[in-house]
């Protein structure tokens, strides 16, 4: 019996809702959010009542991973179910004038669902390329509608922009010498620079209208909401500014949580909440170089930019009222697994390519074992020369290489900073992540034939995986072209300063 039939049966029995309506999917993706940043993950001063409510009524993951410690590669893997090395979204991230982007021959979750009649929309941070004439925008990748900033909101000058009311300027300079950050609807610039104080309201209204319209049409839908929160520079409108105990970071997080609360109200009000799977996670770990403005990795080591746990282990929540039973799972899962899981639940065909994700249904609906035994840890600049930096096999993680990052500077742990240069470990550093999730105490292999056997298994997994990995052409290495930067007045001079509307 396939998963689509199983879910329909559970819905019929538990909810008295015997309908063949395909499930809806809402995918919420935070930005630079650390493992320890949510109230339900132990932060003492974060105000996240709606996410906490989803966690209390759904399934909270303790061992959930992204595939890259920086933005663009992580997003590519989320939407395709494939490591970023396959799609070519590496090294580092895409920029406003990047020539490359997520290749159009890659199949996104939206493109998997479209043949089944799903309405699809993306709202928020895209960061998978724009390209000439909008080649790589969401509307070219399976999404019917898009509202958002097509890259990171710090990729434009922000020193004169207002991030908090009444007129508190954004912290820092952000990127200078480029166009101000635009707000796009589909492929048209609606505002440049964006108004940060009203941005979340625009996103909330767009997402709520999309849900309401789809529900009214009785059309199944997929909503992808990659938020800008809590990436630097933090911002928040009147509904959240000054209302948390964590300062700017906490206010930004609260604004995201408020939006999630509004979406839950819309799902409830339109009568589709019981038929909607909601998934929440983040793209990578916290940017510790920002100190209190950069998030918190909880007990995990380091953060953004590194292949330590703090860089790639993420908070994650799955909620489906009446279908997913409340609880906590310690099973290993990944953003890679979201596409295969959604495809299975919708009864959609999987792309005919090498997928790295597995179906999580057994975890979600039975709180059973994961099909995933391993997780690969690529650095921000993966290469065929070095291959994976670390591998997790069951509860053990082996670091073959370690390296710090500027994103994780300012912490007392010197192994996190940019001054911690690339180090080869032979034999690899081996950690038991159940006993030592902070990766402080490497296991000694002396007189431990059991650990020698584990390491032998890990080496075999590494050999097999790297033997199957075909690196796609690097999209980011194609470079940038200032003429590709989005400008609402394309013929104006002098650029980039004249791009205002």
Tokens of 185: 């609807």
- Please, how many CA atoms are within 13 Å of residue 345, restricted to the half-sphere of its CB? 31
Closest listed residue to residue 158, CA positions, set 202, 196, 199, 198 = 196
Distance CA 220, CA 262 (A): 20
Closest listed residue to residue 268, CA positions, set 50, 20, 6 = 50
Q: Which of 71, 302, 487, 488 is catalytic?
A: 71
Q: What is the DSSP secondary-structure string of 193-234? A: S--HHHHHHHHHHHHHHHHHHHHHHT--EEEEEE--TTSSSP
Rg for the chain, CA atoms, rounded: 22
Distance CA 309, CA 37 (A): 15
Contact 175, 231 (CB under 8 A): no
Using DSSP's 3-state secondary structure scheme, residue 319 falls into strand
127 noted as active-site residue: yes
Contact 361, 345 (CB under 8 A): yes
Distance CA 438, CA 297 (A): 10
Buried b (16+ CB within 10 A) or exposed e, 211-248: beebbeeeebbbbbbbbbbbbbbbbbbebbbeebebeb
Hey, which residues does 98 pair with through a beta bridge?
A: 480
Tokens of 142: 């399976």
Q: Which of 40, 43, 66, 127 is catalytic?
A: 127
Closest listed residue to residue 166, CA positions, set 196, 144, 191 = 196
Contact 59, 367 (CB under 8 A): yes
Contact 46, 39 (CB under 8 A): yes
> In degrees, to the nearest 5, what angle opens at C-alpha 129 toward C-alphas 69 and 142?
105
Distance CA 8, CA 323 (A): 10
**Residues annotated catalytic, as ranges:** 71, 127
């Amino acid at each position: 019996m396939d998963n689509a039939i199983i879910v329909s049966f559970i819905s019929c029995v538990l909810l008295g809702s015997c309908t063949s309506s395909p499930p809806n999917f809402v995918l919420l993706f935070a930005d630079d959010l650390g493992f320890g940043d949510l109230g339900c993950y132990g932060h003492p001063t974060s105000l996240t009542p709606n996410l906490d409510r989803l966690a209390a009524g759904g399934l909270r993951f303790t061992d959930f991973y992204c595939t890259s410690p920086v933005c663009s590669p992580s997003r590519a893997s989320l939407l395709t179910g494939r490591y970023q090395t396959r799609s070519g979204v590496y090294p580092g991230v895409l920029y406003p004038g990047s020539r490359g982007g997520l290749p159009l021959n890659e199949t996104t979750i939206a493109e998997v669902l479209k043949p089944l009649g799903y309405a699809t929309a993306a709202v928020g941070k895209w960061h998978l390329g724009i390209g000439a004439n909008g080649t790589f925008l969401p509307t070219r990748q399976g999404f019917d509608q898009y509202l958002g900033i097509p890259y990171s909101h710090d990729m434009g000058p922000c020193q004169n922009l207002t991030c908090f009311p009444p007129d508190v300027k954004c912290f820092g300079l952000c990127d200078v010498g480029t166009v101000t950050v635009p707000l796009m609807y589909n492929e048209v610039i609606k505002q440049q620079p964006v108004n940060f104080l009203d941005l979340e309201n625009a996103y909330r209204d767009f997402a709520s209208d999309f849900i309401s319209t789809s529900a009214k049409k009785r059309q199944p839908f997929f909503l992808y909401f990659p938020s800008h929160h809590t990436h630097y520079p933090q911002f928040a409108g009147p509904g959240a500014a000054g209302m948390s105990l964590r300062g700017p970071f906490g206010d930004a997080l609260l604004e995201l949580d408020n939006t999630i609360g509004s979406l839950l109200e819309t799902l409830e009000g339109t009568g589709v909440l019981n038929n909607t799977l909601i998934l929440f996670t983040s793209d990578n770990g916290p940017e510790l170089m920002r100190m209190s403005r950069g998030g918190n990795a909880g007990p995990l080591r380091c953060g953004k930019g590194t292949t330590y746990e703090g860089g790639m282990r993420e908070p994650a929540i799955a909620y489906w009222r009446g279908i997913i039973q409340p609880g906590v799972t310690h099973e290993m899962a990944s953003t890679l697994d979201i596409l295969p899981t959604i495809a299975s639940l919708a009864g959609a065909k999987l792309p005919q390519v090498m997928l790295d994700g597995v179906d999580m249904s057994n975890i979600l609906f039975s709180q059973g074992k994961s099909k995933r035994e391993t997780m690969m840890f690529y650095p921000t600049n993966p290469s065929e020369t070095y291959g994976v930096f670390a591998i997790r096999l069951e509860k053990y993680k082996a670091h073959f290489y370690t390296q710090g990052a500027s994103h994780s500077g300012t912490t007392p742990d010197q192994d996190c900073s940019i001054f911690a240069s690339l180090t080869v470990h032979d034999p690899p550093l081996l950690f038991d992540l159940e006993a030592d999730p902070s990766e402080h105490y490497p296991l000694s292999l002396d007189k431990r034939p059991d650990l020698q056997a584990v390491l032998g298994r890990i080496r075999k997994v590494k050999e097999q995986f790297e033997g199957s990995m075909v690196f796609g052409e690097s999209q980011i290495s194609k470079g940038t072209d200032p003429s590709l930067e989005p400008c609402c007045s394309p013929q104006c001079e002098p650029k980039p300063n004249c791009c205002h509307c």
